[in-house]
Structure formats: structure tokens, C-alpha cells
Structure 1
Amino acid sequence: MVQGMVVDKGPNYRDPGRPMHEIISGHASRNPEKPAVIYEDGTKLTYGELDELSGKLAAALASEANVNKGDVVAIVMFNRPEFVVAYLGALKAGARVVVIDALSMSEDLEYQLNDAKPKATIVDSEVYGREKDREIINKLGGKVYLAEKLREALAGFEAGGIKVEYDADARIFYYAGIVGRTLQVIHTHRSFVGAVAPLAQAEGINEEDVSLVTSPLSHVLGLDAALFTALYAGGTAVMMKRFDEEKAVRLAKEYGVTYMVAAPLVYQRLLEKGVTRDNLPSLKWAMSGGAYLPPEVQKAWIEKVSPLLQVYGMTEAPQCFATTIERNKIGSLGFPLPGVEAKLVDPEDESREVGVGEKGVLLIKGPMVMKGYAEPEETKKAFRGEWLWTGDILERDDEGFYYFRGVKKRMLKYKGYPVFPRDLEILLEKHPAVAKAEVYGEPDPSVGQIPAARVWLKPGYEGSVKPEELMEWVNTRVAPYKKIRKLVIMGTLEK
């Protein structure tokens, strides 16, 4: 066993020192006619238009929704150009942005809106068209703006906005992977920029680059690694509402896509469709994240299309490791990005730091690390002094590459989406017949893991409740990717 590695440091980080919306406004002043976002239907949003519209939204939020510094603005939207307007406009207003997955419904949606208490919600008409969800949004979402009518709603406003501190809260996520349940993860403007800039710097992304955005913007892989790396660098993001193989190839060719960041399933499906470098001639590199990348998929993509890199992170610390074209190994998550410090500790004795070739729980420091959770006690549990305890078990080789080896936290991945077993257990245990539930991930090579459950009934319910009924109880209340696919009743249990 080779020893010696204690703290591993990434390259120097060049901190821009200002919030993301100010960086993008700088691009707008220098190159207002350059396309910032191109939608799948051909709609283009230039940097000048993006800056002006987001400024108008900031003014509208202050005037119509009484949004002040520190208030919350929610976005419930599928991928579309208005998403970027909404995101930057809320930040310019001094608000904290909460992005709620547009697939969220019923209890999921209600919980997050009730917890976040937004002054305003910008919502996709597809979401707003669902009767029950519309009632929830009208009740809990504050002032409601429809994404499709956002330009029209902002027509009478002059662009505005306020100065925000770099260390002020900027955004809130509801994917607390370390905790293993739905909980507010709070990031500042500094850690937002710190989640994007190191990756852009490491990969050499610049204003000539064009990114293909296939992942949902409700998750950091799509939002930060695919979208905001391009906007941070002054490049262009080509955005898809939902991934489709033929559409992805067409858009990549038409707009000269130079890089893409997506879940492993995207590359697998493109390869199955017979995609080669002839189909994606401008693609310089691709990057996989969010879930396990099978080595055979990575090898095939490299052989047939382009370099396929990997990025590793979590909601609490997005994009902290990655590989590059110059340094890439099959199966590796990469190495610390600029500004990141990493160390591995013994899973059974965290006072012992492990070396090369040993498995250990990853602890990190870096510009992308969250401010904390909304619950102070949970924040304390997640940190070891200045170090964030990730709950992921990794191993480092003698060349500095890291490899995923397991987890000490409760989370599973379905098609790259994080699913928290405890959330589903709580929901199952709300059923009048259920005494106890255990949810776990069952391996499935086509999707990663499927949510499965073991359930114990309360006495007196034997034979009167079927697995299908309990699955429906959960599945009608959660986003499609959280649905329980398999459930077994184990017997009864006194509670």
C-alpha cells in the first residue's frame, strides 16, 4: 500500500470577484449582438436581449411582487430561454433563486413552495396547466408570471436591479445529497461563480465555444456545467427542452457545437443510434456527469466520436473534480479543479487520512462549496471544520486520478436524477396501513438504479392492501423519476 497523499490541491483558481449576472452583463456591453442562448426551435436570445430582459424582470419583481434583498423567487420551468431570463432577473433583484423541477407535482411541489415561501414564481404553462399544481402555485407561489408571456409582461418596465454583495445568498436547491432527504442547500453568489468558473478554466472554455444543453436546468449538471460555463465564458448555449437523439445531432451540426455536458445515458443512446464524429464534426469534447459512466460507453465514444471526459460534484459542491483532454483516464472522475483541496479519510476512523490506493470518504474545500443547509444542525454534521464531508467513498491512484468506490450516504440515481430514499419512506409511512417502509436502489443497467421498497403493515391490514395500491399512493405524488418501480409487503409490524 503506497502512502503519502494527505491533502491534494488543484491548480490556482482565478476568482472573477463579482456575481454571475454582472459577468454576463459585461459580455452584453462588449458584444450585445452575440447569441447567448439558442433554443431548439431556432429562437435566439442575444447577450444584449438577455441583459435587458433580465433587468426588466428585476424591476418588475421589485415593483409588482415587492421583492427585496434576500426574498425568494421560484422558477418552475422546463428548459427554455425564459429560464435564463428568470434566473438572472431574480439575481439582479437581489433575490435568492429556488429552481423547482418542472416534473415535480403534488406533495413535492407543495412542500418546496411552502418551505421556500417565494414572493414570485415564474412558471411554464405546461406546469401551470396541471390543475392541482396550478392551485398549489396560486396559493403558495406569490406573484405568478407565465414563462411564455414573460416578454409581454415586462414590456412596460425599464431595466433595473440592485447591487448585491458577492457573499450574499444567491440560490437554493432542494437536493441535499449528503443529508439524504429534501432540504434547502444554500449557495452564495461567490459559490455560484465558484461552481462554474473552475470548470470553465480547467477545460479552456472561451467565447468561441458553443455548448449543447441536454440536461434539465433544474439540476446542476445542466444549469452549471452545461449552460453557465458557456455564458460565463461569453460563449453560446444551444438548449433542448428534452433530450432527443436526432434533434441533438441536428442542433449540434447546425450551430457548430464544440462541447456538451450530459448524463451517461445521453452518450449511450447516441451511440446506439450510430452517431460518429462525422455526425458531430465540430465537437471538440464531451463530458459525462451525474451518474456512473460505464467504461465500455466511454471507450466507444472516444473511439467513434470525441474525447469523453468526466465531471464529479454534488449539490453541496457542484463540479469539484473533472478530467481534461490532456489528462483523462477511462473510469476516473478526474482530479481537483482549480481552487479545490481534497483528502480521503478512513470510513471507520475519520482521524486517519488515507493514501494512494486506499478507499476513503472524500472531504473537500473549494470555491464551489455551499454556505450550508437551512437547518444549522445538519450543516454542522456536514462539515469537519472547514472541510465538507461528501459521504462518497473514493480512491486515488499514483497519478492523481480519483475513482468512485461507493457511498456512506443514502441516495440513489435514476437516469442521473438523485432520489432520496428517506423522502419516499416518509411518504409511504403516511399511508394509513403502513407501519414501516425501507426504500433502496435496485441496480438496473438501463437506468442506473430503480427505486424499490420493502413495506411492513400495521396489524389488521394483512391482505387488505396490495403492493400496487401502495406504489400508486407514492407515484401519484412525486416526479416521474422518483416513482417506486417495485414494492414488496414483508408482513406486519407493531408500531
Structure 2
Amino acid sequence: MEVVEYKDPGKPVHKLIEEQANKNPDKVAFVYEDGTKLTYSELVKRSKAVANLLKEKGVQKGDTVFLIMFNRPEFVTGLLGSLYAGARVVIADALTQKEDLAFQLEDSKPKVVLADSEVLEREKETLKDYQVLTEDDLAKAQGEHEVEVDYEDDARIFYYAGIAGRTMQVIHSHRSFTGAIVPLVQAEGIEESDVSLVTVPLTHVLGLDAAFLSALVSGGTALLLKKFNMNKIKELAKEHKPTYIVAVPLVYQTMMKEDEEFVKELGKSLKWSMSGGAYLPPDDQKRWEELTGKPLLQVYGMTEAPQIFATTPQKHKIGSLGFPLPGVEALLVDPDTLEIKEDQGELLVRGPQVMKGYPEEEENKKAFVELQGKRWLRTGDILAKDEEGFYYFRGVRKRMLKYKGYPIFPRDLELILQKHPCVEEVTVEGEPAGEVGQIPVAKIKLKEECKGKVSEKEIMDFVNSRVAAYKKVRKVVFL
């Protein structure tokens, strides 16, 4: 098995960015869609000021900070400031609401919540018992604070469905946080002169690691949008000439649909683009490459092991997820017997980006296996490999569907629906829905006394009022 050597910098992400600030303090680290620019030295200074504010609010090394913000400058200073303060940061999707949010807060027990005003207004009730700092508080932070952290300390936590298919903490150390970014940077040759266009949420590893931090740890510049917006993209691209984009397939499909001439123009500054997070139809991949004249690469990973495979401009095939990034070992096995397979099977991985684990030991026993004297993460994905070593996605063993690139775990929705007094049994399945991927459909057996007395809409409202917009059940079928 060929493993390309990974040059581990041995430093946490915030210290890698600080290195760039020491080397090139006046270089612009990122530009926000409203024109706000932060140089590397300003970014480090503001982040250390946030760390000081967190210290004043009682945050000590090893405490948890809960970050729930849309893409904005304060998301970045909030994240880096939490790392400087020695905290473990829960990174929550800004669309998380009500029951989902309450569960994550109760489970993680944060000392401080960093929420932007939009989230605070929407979730006032859920957040009322927590110490909340908004973007205004972070922007006014003064002073400087830094705690020395160990490479093996907890750095960031995502709430994601484990092998069991229900949401739980996915814990990453500083080592695996660095390991999620640097191998991709090494493989793609990202450098100081690069400019990344960031259109996807920083609350997901594709946006945070592959699109945004890949530029910052390399000394480049990131162009940050709050969310996908064609006019803002045109403005930023015209002025700053992005050299790469990392986004979900829907971003490329929408851009081609809305303005092919702009896509052609974009191709003049781009070196490459990269798609991840969902299935990329080969026809869309070919069309983007025809319009831009540059490759549309693919990256593959998951929250438990971000960015493990990718194609590069030098090694690229339409339809392929690529090959293991530097430091990554991959095995294909029979999902039931774990017998090693050469051409197709469930993917097992080892590498610098693999999570520390879930908090529950029983779940870790299901997620990790011992094979060939080594510990491997089971991905739950079925992949095939061709004679040149390129991998291809073939399906999933775990229960998961994708909507607009967002992962949805049917078990989470089933657990909520089971709380409805009229639901006897429920199964949530994905239904194909064109470019957006799949929509969740709830198939329900009602209790005898409720038949004819409760509507599909009532059931749908019951679950949808409790979850993020992208998780909403779009159809209810009574069986």
C-alpha cells in the first residue's frame, strides 16, 4: 500500500496562522463580503483579544465554548480566540434550532456561547440560561491572552451521527484538526499567492478546513461570503481574482445555470475548483471544466475524518474521488467479515485527520476496528478502486441522506417523531429530488385511536418546528 509522506507541522491551527502573521503581518488574511478586510496581524490580535474576553467570562483551559454563527469575521476570531484560550470548541450549524440546539447545549455544557445576533434573536428561549457573547461583544474585545495547549488536547467538536446513526459528539484534537487541513494543502500545492473563494458554511469541515483554513495556514487570502450569493461572488471575484474554489456540487450547478459567461471569466484566474459534500454528476463536472478550462477536482471525507481522499490537477479523473492524501492509509474490506478486498468494499482509514473518537466507548468499539495490528476507522461508505489507484463512491452502509450537501440522519428525525402521541411506528427514508439530492420522507403507522384524526401536515409541523431548515421532513405517508 503506497502512503505519500505527510509533513506534520506539529503545531495547532491557530499557531500555524500566527506563523503566517509573523512572516507577513500586513498580508490580507481574508476579505468578508461587506468589504471588511483583516490582515494576518489584525486577525491574531483580535483572536487573542477574544481569548482575553473569554478568560474574563471564566473560561479556563479545557472548558467548552459553543460557537453558533453564520459565516462572518467574528466566527473566525471566535474560533481562533477559543483555541488561544485553551478551550474545546463546539462548532454548531447556525441553522440548528430548538430541540436540536437544546440537546447539544445540555450535552456539551459550555461555559460560554458565541452566537451572532441573528441566532440569539431566533433562539432566545433556548439560550436564556447560558452566558452568550455576540459578534458585537467579540468586536469590542480588548487585551491579549493565550494558553499553551498540547497537540493531543481536545480542539473542536462537531455534533454528527455516529455509526449508530444518532447524533453525538465527534471529538478532534489539535493534531487531527491540523491533520484535516495540511495534507490537502500539501497535495494541492496551495501557497501564499493563492486566493480561495468561500461560499459554504464554516460550520462544516468542507467550508472551514478545505475552503477557508487551507488558505490561511498557507499564507494566502480567503474571500468569505455569509452564504451563496451570485452578486457577491461576482463582486469579490472581479476585485480579488480567486485561484481556487471548494464547494458543494449545488454551487457549481447554480453558477453554471445562472451565468455561464461569468463562469468562463472566472476560469481565467482559477487554477482549479474542488467539489465535496455530495454526489457530483459527471456531466456537471465536464461542463464546468469546459467553461473554465480548468479541472473540477473532488475531495472526499467525513466529519470523523475530514479530507481523506482528493484528486489533484496532476492526477485527475472524471467521476473519481481521487486517492489517499498524504499520511492516509486506506483498506477496502467486506463489510460483514472484514476480509480485505482489492477492488470494492467498505472503506477503512487511518490518518492524521481521524478523530479522537466519540465520548461513548461503546460507539468507539463500533467505529474502530483492529486489523493488521493497526486501528482503523470504519467509514460506512462502500468504495471501488481501479487499476490506477483511483477510488469511486459506490454507496453507504450507514443510514444517511444528503440534502443540498447537508447530511441528514433519519434516526434523529425518527426519535423526534416517536414523541408524537399519535405515532406508533415510524421510518424515515430518502427520496431522490434532483439537484438538491434527497428529501426526508416519514412513513408512519398511526395508533388506532388517532386514525382519521391527525393530518400529514400536523405530523410534519411537529417535527419541522424542532429541527434545522435543511433537516425538515418534506413528505409524510401514513401506512
Q: Quick one: which amino acid aligns to residue 446 of structure 2?
A: L
When structure 1 is superposed on structure 2, of 366-375 and 51-60 the one drifting more is: 51-60
Q: Distance in 1 between matches of 2:190 and 2:31?
A: 18
Q: Distance in 1 between matches of 2:469 and 2:3?
A: 38
CA deviation map 1:37-68 (0-9, x unaligned): 1100110011111101111111121122x111
Q: What is residue 38 of structure 1 aligned with on the other side? A: 31
TM-score by length of 2: 0.97
Q: Secondary structure at the match of 2:38?
A: strand
Q: Quick one: which amino acid aligns to residue 123 of structure 1?
A: A
1:456 to 422, 437, 445: 445
Q: Distance in 2 between matches of 1:46 and 1:216?
A: 21
Q: Distance in 2 between matches of 1:302 and 1:409?
A: 32
Q: What is residue 29 of structure 1 aligned with on the other side? A: 22
How far is 1:280 from its partner? Answer: 4.1
Q: Map of 1:157-168 to 2, 5 A cutoff?
A: 158-168=143-153
Q: What is residue 265 of structure 2 aligned with on the other side? A: 278
Q: Quick one: which amino acid aligns to residue 60 of structure 2?
A: N
How far is 1:177 from its partner? Answer: 4.9
Q: What is residue 91 of structure 1 aligned with on the other side? A: 83
Q: Secondary structure at the match of 1:379?
A: helix
Is 1:301 paired with 2:302? no
When structure 1 is superposed on structure 2, of 96-105 and 267-276 the one drifting more is: 267-276
Q: Quick one: which amino acid aligns to residue 195 of structure 2?
A: V
How far is 1:10 from its partner? Answer: 3.2
Q: Distance in 2 between matches of 1:406 and 1:400?
A: 18
1:338 to 323, 326, 340: 326
2:54 to 61, 73, 85: 61
Is 1:397 paired with 2:371? no
Q: What is residue 5 of structure 1 aligned with on the other side? A: none
CA deviation map 1:439-490 (0-9, x unaligned): 0111111201011110111221111111111001011111110000111011
Q: Secondary structure at the match of 1:91?
A: helix
Is 1:412 paired with 2:422? no
Is 1:430 paired with 2:415? no
Q: Distance in 1 between matches of 2:244 and 2:189?
A: 11
Is 1:151 paired with 2:136? no
Q: Secondary structure at the match of 1:233?
A: coil
Is 1:135 paired with 2:125? yes
Q: What is residue 442 of structure 1 aligned with on the other side? A: 431
User: Which stretches in structure 2 are left out of the alignment for 5+ residues?
Assistant: none
Aligned CA RMSD, in angstroms, stands at: 1.1
Q: Quick one: which amino acid aligns to residue 476 of structure 1?
A: S
Q: Secondary structure at the match of 2:263?
A: coil
Is 1:468 paired with 2:457? yes
Distance 1:463 1:341, change over 3 A: same
1:178 to 163, 175, 180: 163
1:219 to 178, 182, 204: 204
Q: Quick one: which amino acid aligns to residue 325 of structure 1?
A: P
Q: Distance in 1 between matches of 2:181 and 2:266?
A: 28
Contact kept in structure 1, 2:163 and 2:363, CA below 8 Å: no
Is 1:239 paired with 2:224? yes
When structure 1 is superposed on structure 2, of 273-282 and 233-242 the one drifting more is: 273-282
Q: Quick one: which amino acid aligns to residue 432 of structure 1?
A: P
Q: What is residue 335 of structure 2 aligned with on the other side? A: 347
Contact kept in structure 2, 1:471 and 1:484, CA below 8 Å: yes
Q: Distance in 1 between matches of 2:149 and 2:232?
A: 39
Is 1:119 paired with 2:102? no
Q: Distance in 1 between matches of 2:397 and 2:157?
A: 24
Q: What is residue 493 of structure 1 aligned with on the other side? A: none
1:361 to 335, 346, 359: 346
Q: Map of 1:74-85 to 2, 5 A cutoff?
A: 74-85=66-77
Q: Distance in 2 between matches of 1:458 and 1:334?
A: 49
How far is 1:246 from its partner? Answer: 2.9
Q: Distance in 2 between matches of 1:71 and 1:470?
A: 39
When structure 1 is superposed on structure 2, of 438-447 and 290-299 the one drifting more is: 438-447
Contact kept in structure 2, 1:177 and 1:420, CA below 8 Å: no
2:298 to 300, 310, 320: 310
Contact kept in structure 2, 1:103 and 1:480, CA below 8 Å: yes
User: Which stretches in structure 1 are left out of the alignment for 5+ residues?
Assistant: 1-7, 491-495
Contact kept in structure 2, 1:177 and 1:411, CA below 8 Å: no
Q: Distance in 2 between matches of 1:10 and 1:301?
A: 31
Is 1:321 paired with 2:306? no
Q: Quick one: which amino acid aligns to residue 291 of structure 2?
A: K
Q: What is residue 371 of structure 1 aligned with on the other side? A: 356
Contact kept in structure 2, 1:9 and 1:339, CA below 8 Å: no
Q: Secondary structure at the match of 2:217?
A: helix
When structure 1 is superposed on structure 2, of 312-321 and 179-188 the one drifting more is: 179-188
Q: Secondary structure at the match of 2:150?
A: coil
Q: Distance in 2 between matches of 1:239 and 1:71?
A: 29
Q: Quick one: which amino acid aligns to residue 269 of structure 2?
A: S
CA deviation map 1:301-328 (0-9, x unaligned): 0111121000000000000000000011
